Chain A
Amino acid sequence: MARPENLWYSKTHEWVRMEGEVATVGITDYAQEQLGDVVMVELPAVGKGVTAGQEMGTVESVKAVSEVFSPVSGTVVEVNGELEAHPELVNQDPFGAGWLVRVKVSEPPSGLMDAAAYEAFVQEEGGH
């Protein structure tokens, strides 16, 4: 699957879309594929602070639990409530309807990769 060009990517396979001061965060197509069928998503509540590189929640498949690390620092302003009833959106549309949280960032994101760099990173990890 094409990796959207307008996003930033972390080494722990989250993506970020910046719109002003608000970052939308999700997990990448590669991450959801590695995980398999997602059956439960645990996310921080609105108003909670998150720190870049720190765990902010979990995504669970039938087989395994995977931690989600926040790629940015700031305050959660919105969580994707659809995932409560439809966690499979993370598999079906990881870069769209399967987004996880929106964070009002407290500082500009840093240390993230662009699409080309992430592509190379996944290749190196033994991905596709």
Chain B
Amino acid sequence: MTSAPTKRTPLYEVHLAAGARMVPFAGWEMPVQYKGVIEEVRAVRTRVGVFDVSHMGELEVVGTRALDFVQYVTCNDASRLTPGRAQYSGLMTPRGTFVDDLLVHMFSPERYFLVVNAANKDKDYAYLCAQAPAFDNVEVYDRSADYAQLAIQGPFAEQVVQKLADQNVSELKYYRFVEAQVAGVPAILARTGYTGEDGFEVYVAPEAAAEVWHAMMDAGSEFEITPCGLGARDTLRFEACMPLYGNDIDDSTTPLEAGLDWIVKFEKGPFLGREALLHQRAVGIKRKLVGFEMVGKGIPRHGYAIFQGDREVGVVTSGTFSPTLGKPLGLGYVPVELAAEGSELFVNIRGQKVAARVVPTPFYRRAK
């Protein structure tokens, strides 16, 4: 356990007033739920929900060689970005494993805005700073204290944000962002999210966060906008099979093993981990992250062992009862020869081997 004092987001009092249950998470005191995970998940899938994700880290890479630097430390191809576009990527070790997964926003060829996991922010910043001296004229800044982040997610998110934004957000496509006024407050308004629904992530100054939160709650009241905690966020991202660092990916897993081949762009030129990943691609991955449903009764959980017959073959990285699909589901690493759809496995649930079956992912995909 860490002994460092937990940090509070600028919305701490707002959460208490809204009846949140607060829990420690990645060094922060965060709302895990308000009314209940199932109700909050349903709100995001069918209407709209708002999340305080101010714990997330924001790092900025600035300088004439900013693009070269981002290209070198991440596996996706940042040269495909244009100003106002964002991409999902991986911050790579030389072994081709994840230091972190992140969103890379391009403001200009000389300025990139990286959004990283709260638990990894200090590690990421130190890692980037250690790589930066090899690039003349690149500076890395930790801007995390300058931003609060609100995520507004769900089918009615666009209508709610439109009431508050000073520009036409219907024209803002997925994975694009603009600098806009939201509720009269200067914001970075990005059409991104971690729920599998349409929605926005809104970055504002910490002192403006409560104002923007209340404005969203007011503007969303006609859609029964619902405050949502980290419990719902984790469940939503799990149903959409968006990986969680520390569970589904970490510094021992590669994007190829995690099924994230689409964020590895070998053709872009040298980057950290490229040789290791080329080698892994050439010899073939040994294990793969798969989704499975339970055939027997039980809920798979992070850390449970996966068996084929009597042989332990893998581990559950995330699992829960999916409120949207109405059944227990899991993600886990298994040997590649057991990764095909329909493959029959067992999950050791507190000493009982319960039958499971590999199914296609994502578990949930929103109707377009």
Contact = CB atoms under 8 A, between A and B. Distances in A.
Partners in one complex: yes
Interface of A: 36-37, 39-40, 42, 58, 60-63, 65, 91
B299 A65 contact: yes
A62 B38 contact: yes
Given A62-B235, A65-B299, A36 B36 contact: yes
Nearest to A63: B231
B33 interface: yes
Contacts of B298: 40, 42
Nearest to B230: A63
A62 B326 CA distance: 11
B365 to A, nearest CB: 20
Contacts of A37: 36-39, 323
B37 A36 contact: yes
Contacts of B366: none
B301 A62 contact: no
A40 B328 contact: yes
A62 B231 contact: yes
A65 B38 contact: no
Nearest to A39: B321
7 contacts: A36-B36, A40-B321, A60-B321, A62-B37, A62-B320, A63-B231, A65-B299
A96 B322 CA distance: 27
B368 interface: no
A58 B297 CA distance: 13
Nearest to A37: B38
The 7 A-B pairs at the shortest CB distance, nearest first, are namely: A39-B321, A37-B38, A62-B37, A37-B36, A63-B231, A60-B299, A37-B37
- From B41, B235, B321, B323, name the one whose CB has the most chain A CB atoms within 10 angstroms: B321
A79 B231 CA distance: 30
Given A36-B37, A36-B231, A37-B36, A65 B301 contact: yes
Interface of A is mostly: strand
Contacts of A36: 33, 36-37, 231
A60 B322 CA distance: 12
Given A40-B321, A40-B328, A63 B32 contact: yes
B37 A58 contact: no
Nearest to B328: A40
B350 interface: yes
Contacts of B36: 36-37, 91
Contacts of B33: 36
Contacts of A61: 37
Contacts of B301: 65
Contact of A39 (B39, B234, B299): B299
B321 A58 contact: no
Interface in B214-263: 231, 234-235
A65 B298 CA distance: 11
Given A40-B299, A63-B231, 10 more contacts: A36-B231, A39-B38, A39-B299, A42-B297, A60-B299, A60-B321, A61-B37, A62-B41, A62-B323, A63-B320
Interface in B28-43: 32-33, 36-39, 41
Contacts of B323: 37, 39, 62
Contacts of B38: 37, 39, 62
Given A40-B328, A65-B299, A58 B231 contact: no
Nearest to A58: B350
A62 B230 CA distance: 12
A42 B36 CA distance: 21
A45 B328 CA distance: 22
Contacts of B234: 63
Nearest to B320: A62
A39 B39 CA distance: 13
A15 to B, nearest CB: 22
A39 B33 CA distance: 16
Contacts of A42: 297-298
Nearest to B352: A42
Contacts of B37: 36-37, 61-63
A128 to B, nearest CB: 11
- From B33, B37, B299, B301, name the one whose CB has the most chain A CB atoms within 10 angstroms: B299
